[in-house]
Amino acid sequence: MIQFPKEFYWGAATSSYQVEGNNLNADWWAWEKKTGHENSGPACRHYELFEQDFDLVKSLNHNAHRLSIEWSRIEPREGEFSDEAIVHYINVIRALRTRGIEPMVTLHHFTNPQWFADSGGWSDARSMKRFLRYGEFVTRALARGVHFWFTINEPTVYFSHSFLWGMWPPQKKSILQTKAVYHNLNEAHIEAYRMIHRIYKELKVDKPAVSIAQHMQAIVGCDKRLRNRLAVAMRKQIYNFAVLDHLAHYRTLDFIGLNYYSRHLVDVHSWWIGNLLMEKCSDNHHPCKKNGLGWDIYPQGLSQVLLELKKYKLPVIVAENGICTSDDNERWEYIQSHLKNVRLAMDQGVNVTGYLYWSLMDNFEWAEGFKPRFGLIDIDFKTYQRTVRDSATKFAQVCKTGILEV
């Protein structure tokens, strides 16, 4: 039996574009149409069905819920702010609060308004100011209902997928642009952090807790050869720590949001910089189970990265952790084994204050479309019928009692 503290945030996470449906003014929408990728369409119809979904959240004993605001709804054209959209999100926050669920709000979760993308996106020097203008509008409207903010979801995933490897819109492959995006995202967070705190002070609302959600993998060398050790150290610094170090230096993190899914095995065959930074192990000498997308399932990595976060001396919320699988038993095993590792890190002094499963429901998994099933709740994408999975019911017990039976 593993026990968690009485005061602990338990819940699940979603993002607007992946669940709401019909985000017609987002850059992803246009990109799906242009490239022939599966269209997000009505997604889970969560924009209409959020009340009903939050009833399920409540019935699953979650006391926290992470969601994101869709910038392209709030500001569909530059400088034009939508009353309808902001009223919607005010109602969303109210719906959570009236059910006793703590909202945790992300301002940017991968998608941008099309006008923003068309006028340079995140590589443009104006991006930070544009993001702040949107952020200020949202903060003023939601301040009284929201304590926890994530300014930006996974900056490293965003700039690498969209600007370095060219996999996501705007599909750039440019080191120069990546550098600019990296800089602009960091600055956007720092300024948004200050802006959110300033607004709370002005409105005389209790101090908020502001962070980013940082994607971290357990980066592990296949063996102890110097080349591998060097590559591991470099990759940890670039992918896991660089952003956090920068934001911590400017004292703009009140806590750390950690998104953890998987292991990244490193086996480098040459000293060339490209190999050091990117070559992955192509062997099968450290076999482990994989999720539906072929990612390694590596629960011990969660305690590993949590322990590595200790140096920041900040509370940590696991803001995403989950598996896509067609086997719901596997999902429960995944949750169990990862929670064990959360507890292990806590026993070694990491102040973890919450755990949010990704995701509340099956949803639109970006370039992979609707096939991968990450949800605690199954969605029938023909009828939009919601069905609570067994893993969700088991997790609900943990959320209720703070006790994990193992």
User: Among 116, 182, 260, 358, which residue interacts with ligand BGC (rule: CB under 6 A)?
Assistant: 358
Site string for ligand BGC, 252-291 (x = CB under 6 A): -------x--------------------------------
CB 317 within 8 A of CB 356: yes
63 interacts with ligand BGC by CB under 6 A: no
Instruction: Report, in Å, the least distance between residue 35 CB and ligand BGC.
Output: 19
User: Among 20, 102, 267, 365, which residue interacts with ligand BGC (rule: CB under 6 A)?
Assistant: 365
End-to-end distance of the chain based on CA atoms, in angstroms?
6
Instruction: Report, in Å, the least distance between residue 132 CB and ligand BGC.
Output: 22
Q: Which is nearer to ligand BGC, 75 or 365 (CB)?
A: 365
Q: Give the phi and the psi of residue 133 in degrees, each rounded to 5.
A: -60, -45
Beta bridge partners of 106: 68, 150
153 interacts with ligand BGC by CB under 6 A: yes
* Residues contacting residue 271 through CB under 8 Å, at least 6 positions apart: 227
CB 12 within 8 A of CB 53: no
- DSSP for 155-201, please give it: HHHHHIIIIIS--STT----HHHHHHHHHHHHHHHHHHHHHHHHHHH
In whole angstroms, how large is the CA radius of gyration of the chain?
A: 20
320 interacts with ligand BGC by CB under 6 A: yes
Q: Which is nearer to ligand BGC, 25 or 156 (CB)?
A: 156
Segment contacting ligand BGC (CB under 6 A): 151-159, 249-257, 279-287, 338-346? 151-159
20 interacts with ligand BGC by CB under 6 A: no
Q: Which is nearer to ligand BGC, 15 or 184 (CB)?
A: 15
* Residues contacting residue 197 through CB under 8 Å, at least 6 positions apart: 207, 208, 210
Instruction: Report, in Å, the least distance between residue 185 CB and ligand BGC.
Output: 14
Residue 73 C-alpha from the chain's centroid: 20
53 interacts with ligand BGC by CB under 6 A: no
355 interacts with ligand BGC by CB under 6 A: no
Residues of the shown chain interacting with ligand BGC in the complex, contacts defined by CB under 6 A:
15, 18, 153-154, 157, 215, 259, 320, 358, 365
